[in-house]
Amino acid sequence: MLSLNNVEVIYNKVILVLKGMSLQVPQGQIVGLLGANGAGKTTTLKAISGLLKPEDGEVTDGSIEFLGQPIHNHDPEDIVRMGIFQVMEGRRVFEHLTVEENLIAGAYTHASSSLHDDLEMVYTYFPRLKERRKQTAGYLSGGEQQMLAIGRALMAHPKLMLLDEPSLGLAPLLVREIFDIVQRINQEHGTTILLVEQNANLTLQVADYAYIMENGRIVLEGTPAELKENADVREFYLGLTEVGKRKSYRDVKHYKRRKRWLS
Amino acid sequence: MDLFIQLTLTGLTNGAILALAALGFVLIYKSSDVINFAQGEFLLIGAYVMFSMLVQFSLPWTIGLVLTLLVAVGIGVAVERLVLRPLIGEPIISVIMATIGLSSLLRAIVSTIWGNQPRAFPAFIPSKPVHVLGATVGADRLWAIAIAGGMLFLFNLFFTRSKEGIAMRAVADDQQAAMSMGISVKRIFAWAWSIAAMTAAIGGALVANIVGVGPELAGFGLRVFPVVILGGLDSIPGAIVGGVIIGLLEAYVGGYIGMGLNQVISFIVLILILMVRPYGLFGQEIIERV
ipTM for the complex shown: 0.86
Residue of A71, A86, A95 to mutate, testing the B interface (most B Cβ within 10 Å of its Cβ): A95
- B181 with A109: Cβ contact below 8 A: yes
Residue B260 reports pLDDT greater than 60 = yes
Taking one residue from A and the other from B, the number of pairs with CB-CB distance under 8 angstroms is 87
The pTM (predicted TM-score) of the whole model is 0.83
Give the distance from residue A170's alpha carbon to the nearest chain B alpha carbon, in angstroms. Answer: 14
Query: Which positions in chain A touch B89 (Cβ < 8 Å)?
Result: 54, 56
Kindly tell me the burial class for residue B20, based on how many C-beta atoms sit within 10 Å of its own C-beta (0-12, 13-18, 19 or more): buried
Give the residue on A whose Cα is nearest the Cα of B173: A94
Per-residue confidence (pLDDT) for residue A183, from 0 to 100: 94
Query: Which positions in chain B touch A156 (Cβ < 8 Å)?
Result: 181-182
Flag whether B278 is in a domain.
no
Q: Averaged over B270-278, what is the pLDDT?
A: 84
**Candidates A102, A109, A138; nearest CB to B182:** A109
Query: Which positions in chain A touch B168 (Cβ < 8 Å)?
Result: none
Residue A17 reports pLDDT greater than 90 = yes
Q: pLDDT tier at A45 (50, 70, 90 boundaries)?
A: very high
Query: Which positions in chain B touch A141 (Cβ < 8 Å)?
Result: 289
Q: Which residues contact B236 (CB under 8 A, 6 or more apart)?
A: B23, B26, B27, B30, B155, B156, B159
DSSP string, A91-120: ----TTSBHHHHHHHHTTTS-GGGHHHHHH
Distance, in Å, from the CA atom of B21 to the CA atom of B226, rounded to the nearest integer, reads 12
Distance, in Å, from the CA atom of A165 to the CA atom of A91, rounded to the nearest integer, reads 9
Domain boundaries in chain A?
2-229
Query: Which positions in chain B touch A81 (Cβ < 8 Å)?
Result: 182
- A80 with B180: Cβ contact below 8 A: yes
Kindly tell me the burial class for residue A138, based on how many C-beta atoms sit within 10 Å of its own C-beta (0-12, 13-18, 19 or more): middle
Distance, in Å, from the CA atom of B167 to the CA atom of A111, rounded to the nearest integer, reads 14
Query: Which positions in chain B touch A101 (Cβ < 8 Å)?
Result: 160, 166, 169-170
Residue of B181, B185, B286 to mutate, testing the A interface (most A Cβ within 10 Å of its Cβ): B181
Residue A152 reports pLDDT greater than 70 = yes
Per-residue confidence (pLDDT) for residue A249, from 0 to 100: 61
* Higher pLDDT pick, A245 / B44: B44
Per-residue confidence (pLDDT) for residue B23, from 0 to 100: 86
**Candidates B163, B174, B289; nearest CB to A94:** B174
Confirm if A77 and A83 have CB atoms less than 8 A apart: no
Range with the largest mean pLDDT of A135-144, B56-65, B280-289: A135-144
Residue B135 reports pLDDT greater than 80 = no
Compute the CA torsion angle B222, B227, B230, B235 (nearest 10 deg).
Answer: -120
- B178 with A81: Cβ contact below 8 A: no
Residue A73 reports pLDDT greater than 70 = yes
Per-residue confidence (pLDDT) for residue B289, from 0 to 100: 60
What is the percentage of chain A residues whose pLDDT exceeds 90? 72
Flag whether B19 is in a domain.
yes
What is the percentage of chain A residues whose pLDDT exceeds 70? 92
Q: Averaged over B235-246, what is the pLDDT?
A: 87
- A96 with B178: Cβ contact below 8 A: no
Boundaries of domain holding B15: 2-114+143-218
Distance, in Å, from the CA atom of B284 to the CA atom of B224, rounded to the nearest integer, reads 19
Q: Averaged over A108-128, what is the pLDDT?
A: 91
Flag whether B79 is in a domain.
yes
Q: Averaged over A6-16, what is the pLDDT?
A: 93
Confirm if B204 and B44 have CB atoms less than 8 A apart: yes
Residue A125 reports pLDDT greater than 90 = yes
Taking only the tens place, the pLDDT of each residue in B105-129 is 999 998 898 888 888 887 777 777 7
Give the residue on A whose Cα is nearest the Cα of B171: A94
Residue B53 reports pLDDT greater than 70 = yes
Per-residue confidence (pLDDT) for residue A64, from 0 to 100: 95
Give the residue on A whose Cα is nearest the Cα of B235: A96
Per-residue confidence (pLDDT) for residue A246, from 0 to 100: 60
Confirm if B203 and B17 have CB atoms less than 8 A apart: yes
Count structural domains, chain B.
1
Domain A2-229 CATH class label: alpha beta
- B182 with A108: Cβ contact below 8 A: yes
Flag whether B119 is in a domain.
no
Residues facing B119 on adjacent strands: B213
Residue B288 reports pLDDT greater than 70 = no
Q: pLDDT tier at A2 (50, 70, 90 boundaries)?
A: very high
Strands A84-87 and A160-164: parallel
Per-residue confidence (pLDDT) for residue B1, from 0 to 100: 67
Flag whether B83 is in a domain.
yes
Give the distance from residue A146's alpha carbon to the nearest chain B alpha carbon, in angstroms. Answer: 13
Residue B40 reports pLDDT greater than 70 = yes
Query: Which positions in chain A touch B172 (Cβ < 8 Å)?
Result: 96
Residue A260 identity: R
Per-residue confidence (pLDDT) for residue A254, from 0 to 100: 52
Give the distance from residue A84's alpha carbon to the nearest chain B alpha carbon, in angstroms. Answer: 9
- A80 with B181: Cβ contact below 8 A: yes
Give the distance from residue B155's alpha carbon to the nearest chain A alpha carbon, in angstroms. Answer: 16
Counting every residue written for chain B, the total comes to 290
Give the distance from residue B243's alpha carbon to the nearest chain A alpha carbon, in angstroms. Answer: 22
Per-residue confidence (pLDDT) for residue A248, from 0 to 100: 60
Residue A247 reports pLDDT greater than 70 = no
- A77 with B184: Cβ contact below 8 A: yes
- A85 with B183: Cβ contact below 8 A: no
Q: How many CB atoms lie within 10 A of CB A27?
A: 11
